[in-house]
Amino acid sequence: MKKPRHYNSIKEFYPFYKTQHQGFVTKRLHFIGTGLVFIFILLFFATGQLKYLASAPLAGYGFAWVGHFFFEKNKPATFQYPLYSLSCDFWLFWDLLRGKERFK
């Protein structure tokens, strides 16, 4: 198995992360999944029901992994860089939301 590259910061990792998210469908699925994560977390705080907290990672990873395996045809960066990848999911969501990154 190929040894993962070492990144010293999220800022250094983000350009690599974006290379793994080139396709329109992959970006759209990540955006939907991460948006659902925020909704489920808000619902958890509003209701105190654990089912919403448990649903957050399922929605986030579920949508993202469908994008990677079926559309982008690559392995999610989460498997090698879990914390950087999670952070960059939110970073990409924010960049897409404010138009700094394009879906195309």
pTM score: 0.90
Torsion of CA 92, 38, 68, 93, to 10 degrees: -10
Give the pLDDT confidence score for residue 1 in this predicted structure: 47
Phi-psi sector, 72: left (phi>0), alpha (psi -120 to 50), beta: alpha
Instruction: Give the model confidence (pLDDT) of 31-87 as tens digits.
Output: 999 999 999 999 999 999 999 999 999 999 999 999 999 999 999 999 999 999 999
| C-alpha span between 37 and 73 (Å, rounded) | 23
- Taking 60 as the threshold, does the pLDDT of residue 3 lie above it? no
C-alpha to C-alpha distance for 35 and 90, rounded to whole angstroms: 9
Predicted confidence (pLDDT) per residue in 7-41, tens digit? 999 999 999 999 999 999 999 999 999 999 999 99
Question: Are 33 and 60 contacting, i.e. CB atoms less than 8 angstroms apart?
Answer: yes
Q: Share the mean pLDDT of the chain.
A: 94
